[in-house]
Structures are given as structure tokens and as C-alpha cells.
């Protein structure tokens, strides 16, 4: 089941930056993503054993994320038709769904656009939620020490 959810999600991001091939075109197929999400939604609503670990709040969050995915993919045949910002938003929503399904919130990959210092070119950056939390703790310790001097 992991490959059914996580691998296609990762390929959505990769497909946005790689040249088009038949395999990658299949990963950009919005109808395939919608179909996958419909299968997950059906199983979550039916409370199948695969999703027994989800409490009410997690199920509500998952269904809300799926609504967001549906909204992003509305009237779209391929994720390549989305703006880069929307592709990143779609990827983040799919990663959040994957983290909930796989019961691994810290392993969720988050992506964002930022301009590195000294350049006007925005770049896409990604990190796991766990990595971002560790980075934030480090920054907090540094600022705390700087304030004590």
C-alpha cells in the first residue's frame, strides 16, 4: 500500500522538473490522482482496517486535504497544466495525505519556493517535517544564546 500512495506522490514533484516521457506523463495524469484519492476516501469513510489507526480528527483532516486536491485538479488533465505554485501546493497536500495514511507525520516532505540571499531567482526547496522541526529548534537555541550575551 505504501507504493500505492507514497511513490506516485513523489513522482508528481519529480515530474514537474523532468523532461516529459511516457512514464512521467502517466504520473502527471490528474485523473489517476483523482482515482487514487477516491479509493482512499472510500476506504476511510468505510473505516476499513487499513485506516483503523486514524482518529476522528485525522480522518477529518485527511478528507479536507482530499477536498483541496480535488479543487486543485478541477478541470485539469495533467499536473503540468498547473502553475508551479499550485504544483507545490498539490504535492504538499498529497504528502500530508500520505503521512496520515502511513501514520508518519514527521516523514512528510514539505516544499516551498524561496529566493536565496544574493539572487532574484526563486528556488524550490523541500525538507521533511521532522527536519524542519529540528532546524527550528536549532534556530531557537541560537537566538536564545544570542539574547543572553
pLDDT tens digits, one per residue of 85-106 = 999 999 999 999 999 998 877 7
120-to-60, 76, 114 alpha-carbon distances in Å? 39, 30, 10
C-alpha cell at 103: 501514520
- For 73, other C-beta atoms within 10 Å of its C-beta total 20
Tens digit of each residue's pLDDT (9 = 90 or more) over 34-56: 999 999 999 999 999 999 889 99
Structure confidence at residue 106 (pLDDT):
72
If pLDDT is split at 50, 70 and 90, which confidence band does 22 have?
low
pLDDT over 70 (residue 149):
no
Strand segments, DSSP code E, in 1-149 are: 109-114, 123-128
Q: Quick one: average pLDDT of 67-86?
A: 94
Q: Quick one: average pLDDT of 130-142?
A: 82
Share above pLDDT 70 across residues of the chain, in percent, rounded to a whole number: 81
Structure confidence at residue 97 (pLDDT):
94
**Spatial separation of the C-alpha atoms in residues 132 and 5, rounded to whole Å:** 23
The residue range of the domain holding 39 is: 2-147
If pLDDT is split at 50, 70 and 90, which confidence band does 18 have?
very low
Domain count, the chain: 1
Amino acid at each position: 500500500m505504501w507504493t500505492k500512495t507514497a511513490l506516485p506522490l513523489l513522482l508528481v514533484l519529480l515530474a514537474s522538473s523532468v523532461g516529459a516521457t511516457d512514464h512521467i506523463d502517466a504520473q502527471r495524469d490528474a485523473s489517476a490522482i483523482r482515482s487514487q484519492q477516491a479509493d482512499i476516501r472510500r476506504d476511510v469513510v468505510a473505516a476499513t482496517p487499513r485506516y483503523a489507526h486514524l482518529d476522528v480528527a485525522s480522518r477529518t483532516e485527511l478528507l479536507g486535504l482530499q477536498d483541496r486536491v480535488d479543487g486543485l485538479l478541477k478541470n485539469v488533465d495533467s499536473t503540468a497544466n498547473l502553475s508551479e505554485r499550485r504544483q507545490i501546493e498539490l504535492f504538499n497536500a498529497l504528502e500530508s495525505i500520505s503521512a496520515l495514511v502511513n501514520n508518519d507525520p514527521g516523514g512528510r516532505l514539505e516544499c516551498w519556493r524561496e529566493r536565496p540571499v544574493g539572487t532574484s531567482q526563486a528556488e524550490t526547496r523541500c525538507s521533511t517535517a521532522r527536519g524542519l522541526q529540528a532546524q527550528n529548534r536549532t534556530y531557537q537555541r541560537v537566538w536564545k544564546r544570542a539574547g543572553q550575551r
